[in-house]
Structure 1
Amino acid sequence: MYSLLLAIIYIAFVSLGLPDSLVGAGWPVMHQDLGVPIAFAGIITMIIAGGTILSSLASERITRRFGVGIVTAVSVGMTAAALVGFSVSGSFWMLCVWAIPYGLGAGAVDAALNNYVAVHYAARHMNWLHACWGLGASISPFIMSYALASGLGWSSAYLIIGLIQAVLTFALLISIPLWGKVNPIVPSGHAVESDEAEETADEPSGRTRTHVPLARAIRIPGVILILTAFFAYCALESTAILWASTYLVTDRGVAPATAAAFASLFLLGITAGRFLAGFFADRVGDRLMIRGGFLTVGLGVVMLALPLDTDVPALVGLVVLGLGCAPIYPAIIHSTPVNFGRRNSQAIIGIQMAAAYTGSTFVPPLFGAISIWTGMWILPLFLALLVALGLLMSERLNQLVARRARTSELA
C-alpha cells in the first residue's frame, strides 16, 4: 500500500506541475487570437492566484471533512475541467471564468498533498516530489511549443494536459481507499504529543477529528515566523525567475540569448537540486537543509552582484541561486508536523501555501515598480534582503522549538 500510493503521489506531483507554465508559454499567441493586450496575462494569473490563496486557507476544514484522498481527486478534477475549458475558450472573459476553478483546485490539492506527505513520508520523498513538480512545469512549455509548431494551436496544448489531468483524476478516485492505510511517521527526536496520540492521521482517507480554526492556528507560537520565512522564500524565487534575465542584460551587458539560457538554468538548478537533496535530506534534517539553502542562495546573490569585468561569476551565481533554493520549500513543509504537531499541520500548511502564493504573486510586480525608480541594479540587494528575512525568521523558529523541547523535558 505504501509504495503503490507513493507512486500515485509522484505521478500526481508531475501532473500538478504541468499546468503552471502554460499561460506564460502560450500567451504571446493567445493574446493575439483573443484580441486583448499582452498585459492581460496578469489578470488571468491574479484570478488563479486569488482562488489558490482562498482554497489554501480553507484546505484544513475541507480536508478534515472529506479526507485527503477525496480532496485530491476532486481538486485535480477541477483543474482538468478548467484546462479543458481553456481549450474551448474563444474569448478572454471565458478564460477568466475557467481560471476560477483552476485556482481553487490548485490551492486545495497543494495544501492537502503537502501535508499528507509531510506526515506520512520521509524528507527525501518531499524533496523528490517537489522535483517532480519542477519536471512537470518544465515539460508543459514543450507541449505548448509542439502544439504551436505543428499548427494545432494553443488550445490543443491545454486540451492535452487537461486530458492527462482527467486520467490522473480517475486514478486518484480508484486510490481513495489507500489513503487511510499508510501509517504516519514519527520523525526522530520528536515526541508525539498526547493529544496527537489520540488523533492519528491514519483515519479513513487521512481525515482528522479536530478542526483547527484559522485564527487559532495563526496564534500558535512560531507560526508567524514560518509564514514570514515562507513568504520571503517564495518572493525570492519568483522575483529571480521573473527579473534575473532582465538584470543580466540591462546591468551586466550579457547577451539576451545567454541571459535567457542561464535564467532557465536557475529553474533546472532548483529541480536538479531537489533530486540531489533527497539523497541526504533524512540524514541532514530539515533545519540544516533550510539554513544551508538560504546561505547558498546568499552566496549566489553575492556572486550575482560582484562588480567584475567578467560575467562568469554572475552567470554561475544564478545557477548557485537555483541550487540553494532547491531544499528550502520542501524542508519548510516537511518540518511543519514536527514543529507544530500533526494536529495543527494541515491548517498551518494551508496558511503556508497562502503565504507562498501571496509572496510569489505580489512581490515580483512590486520589485518591477521599485526598479522603475531605482534601476535594475537593485535586484541583488532586493534578493539579499529577502534571504536575510527568510533566514532570520527560520532561525528564530528553531530557537523557539528548541526552548519548547527543553521545557517539555524538564516537565
Structure 2
Amino acid sequence: MYSLLLAIIYVAFVSLGLPDSLIGAGWPVMHRDLDVPVAFAGIVTMIIAGGTILSSLASERVTRRFGAGLVTAVSVGLTAAALVGFSVSDSFWMLCLWAIPFGLGAGAVDAALNNYVALHYAARHMNWLHSFWGLGASISPFIMSYVLTAELGWSSAYLIVGVIQAALTFVLLVSLPLWGKVNPRIPDDHAAEAEPSGKGGLHVPLAGALRIPGVVSILIAFFAYCALETTVILWASTWLVTDRGVTPATAAAFASLFLLGITAGRFLAGFLADRLGDRRLIRGGFATVGLGVVMLALPVQTDALALAGLVLAGLGCAPIYPAIIHSTPVNFGRRNSQAIIGIQMAAAYTGSTFAPPLFGALSAWAGMWVFPLFLGVLVVLGLLMSERLNRLVARRGRVGQPAP
C-alpha cells in the first residue's frame, strides 16, 4: 500500500509540474494568435495566482471534509478541464475564464498533497517529490516546442498536457481506497486528530492558525524564499546582460542552470534529508543561497564568479521549500498542519506573484545593480524568520509543552 501510493504520488508531482511553464513557453506565439499585447500574460498569471491563493486558504476546511485523496483527484481534474479549455480558447477573455478553475485546482492540490506527504512520508521523499515536480516543469517547454515545430499550434500542447492530467485524475480516483491505509510518520497529538487520509477532525480557523506561536515567522520565511526564487528566475538573465555585460546566450544558459540546480539539488538533498533533518536543511539552504548572492555582488572583472554564484544559489534553494513543508506537522502539530500548509501555500504564491514586478519597479527607479541587494534582503529575512521559529519550538520543548 505504502509503496504503491507513493509511486502514484510521484507521478502526480511530475504531472503537476507540467502546466506551470506552458504559458511562458507558448506566450510568444499565443499573444499573436489572440491579438493581445505581450504584457497581457501578466493578467492571465495574476488570475491564476488569485485562484491559487484563495483555494490554498480554503484547503484545510475542504480537505478535512472530503479527505486528501478526493481533494487531490478533483483538483487535478479541475486543472485538466482548464487545460482543455485553454486548448479551445480562440480569444483572450476565454483564456482568462479558464484561468479561474486552473488556479483554484492548482492551489487546492498543492496544499492537500504537500500536507499528506508531510504527515505520512519521510523527508527524503518530500525532496525527491519536489524534484519530480521540477522535472515536469522542465518537460512542458519541450512539449510546446515540439507542437510548434510540427506546426500543430500552441493549443495542441495544452490539449496534450490536459489529457495527461485527465489520465492522472482517473488513476487518483481508482487509488482512493489506499489513501486511508498509510500510517502517519508521526503519532497523533490530539484526541480529535484527523484520520490518516486527512478527512474529518476539527476545523482550524484562519485567525486561530495565525495566532499559533511561530506561524507568522514561517509564513514570512516562506514568502521570502518564494519571492527570491521567482525574482531570480525572471530577472537573472536581464541582470547578467545589463549589469555584467554577459552575452544573452550565456545569460540564458546560466539562468536555466539555476532551475536545474534546484531540481538536481532536491534530488541530492533527498539522500541527506533524513540524516540532517529539516531545520538544518533550511538553515544550510539559506546560507548557501546567501553565499551565491555574495558571489553575484562581488565587483570583480571575471564573470565566472557571478555565473557560479547563480548555480550555487539554485543548489541552496533546493531543500528550503520541501523542508519548510515537511517540518510543519512537527512544528505545529498534525491537527494544525493542513491549515498552516494552506496558509503557507498562499504566502508562497503571494511572494511569487508580487516580488518580481516589485523588483522590476525598483530596478527601473534605482538601476539593475540592486539585484544582488534585493536578493540579499530576502535571504536574510528568510533565515532570520526560520531561526526565530526554531527558537520558539526549542523553548516549547524545554518547558514540556506539546505541539499546539
Shorter chain as denominator, the TM-score bin is: over 0.9
Distance 1:44 1:308 in 2: 40
In the other structure, the counterpart of 1:167 is 167
The equivalent residue for 1:40 is 40
Q: Please state whether the residue corresponding to 1:253 is helix, strand or coil.
A: coil
Match of residue 352, structure 2, among 357, 360, 364? 360
**Rounded Cα–Cα distance in structure 2 between residues aligned with 1:286 and 1:206:** 22
Structure 1 counterpart of 2:37, which letter? Answer: P
State the Cα deviation string for residues 202-246 of structure 1 (Å, max 9, x = none). 2xx431311101110011110000000000000000001000110
Equivalent in the alignment of 1:140:
140
1:323 is aligned to 2:315: yes
Which residue identity is paired with 2:148?
Answer: L
Kindly state the Cα deviation for residue 155 of structure 1 after the two structures are TM-superposed: 0.2
2:391 is equivalent to residue 399 of structure 1: yes
Secondary structure of 1:181 counterpart:
coil
CA distance in 1: counterparts of 2:92 and 2:193, whole angstroms: 47
Q: RMSD of the alignment, in Å?
A: 1.0
Q: Which residue of 2 aligns with 1:8?
A: 8
SS of the counterpart of 2:400?
helix
User: Is contact 1:230–1:352 with CA below 8 Å preserved after alignment?
Assistant: yes
- Residue 78 (structure 2) pairs with residue 78 (structure 1): yes
Q: How does 1:175-194 map to 2 (within 5 A)?
A: 175-186=175-186, 193=189
8 A Cα contact 1:72 1:113, kept in partner: yes
Residue of structure 2 aligned with 1:337, choices 314, 322, 329: 329
For this pair of structures, how many residues does the alignment match?
A: 402
Deviation readout 1:161-200 (Å, 9 max, x if unpaired): 00000000000000011100000012xxxx853x2x5525
* Aligned twin of 1:24: 24
Match of 2:254 in 1: 262
TM alignment of 1:7-406, pairs within 5 A: 7-186=7-186, 193=189, 195=190, 198-202=192-196, 205-406=197-398
What CA distance in whole angstroms lies between the structure 1 residues aligned with 2:198 and 2:381?
34
| Structure 1: distance between partners of 2:193 and 2:65 | 14
Q: Normalising to structure 2: TM-score of the pair? A: 0.98
Distance across 2 between alignment mates of 1:409 and 1:230: 25
* 2:327 partner amino acid: S
CA distance in 2, matches of 1:149, 1:2: 42
> How far apart are residue 201 of structure 1 and its match?
3.3
Q: Is the CA contact (8 Å cut-off) linking 1:83 and 1:158 kept in structure 2? A: yes
Question: How far, CA to CA, are the matches of 1:409 and 1:210 in structure 2?
Answer: 21
When normalised by structure 1's length, the TM-score is 0.97
Identity of aligned residues (%): 81
Query: Are the counterparts in 2 of residues 184 and 200 from structure 1 also a CA contact under 8 Å?
Result: no
2: CA distance, partners of 1:403 / 1:13 = 35
Query: Secondary structure, in 3 states, of the residue corresponding to 2:90?
Result: coil
Q: Distance in 1 between matches of 2:342 and 2:332?
A: 13
Structure 1 counterpart SS, 2:243: helix
Runs of 4+ in 1 over 3 A off after TM superposition: none
| Whole-angstrom CA distance in 2 between matches of 1:324 and 1:402 | 25
Aligned-pair distance for 1:306? 1.1
Contact 1:34 / 1:92 at 8 angstroms: preserved in 2? yes
**Inter-CA distance 209–192: structure 2 relative to 1 (3 Å threshold):** closer
Mapped partners of 1:301, 1:402: distance in 2: 30
Unaligned runs of 5+ in 1: none
- Give, in whole Å, the separation in 1 of the partners of 2:195 and 2:108: 18
Q: Aligned partners of 2:87, 2:111: CA distance in 1, in Å?
A: 26
C-alpha offsets along residues 58-103 of structure 1, whole Å, 9 cap, x if unaligned?
0000001111111000000000000000000000000000000000
Question: Secondary structure of 1:210's match?
Answer: coil
Letter paired with 1:72: T
| Deviation per residue, 1:388-409 (Å, 9 max, x gap) | 0000000000000000000117
Contact 2:192 2:201 in 1 (8 A): no
- Tell me if structure 2 keeps the 8 A contact 1:183–1:201: no
Q: Distance in 2 between matches of 1:126 and 1:111?
A: 13
* 1:116 partner amino acid: Y
Three-state SS of the structure 2 residue aligned to 1:308 is coil
Q: Give 1:280 shift.
A: 0.8
2:300 is paired with a residue whose SS is coil
Which whole-Å CA distance do the structure 2 matches of 1:209 and 1:317 have between them?
A: 46
What is the CA deviation profile of residues 125-182 of structure 1, one whole-angstrom value per residue up to 9, with x for unaligned ones?
0000000000000000000000100000100000000000000000000001110000
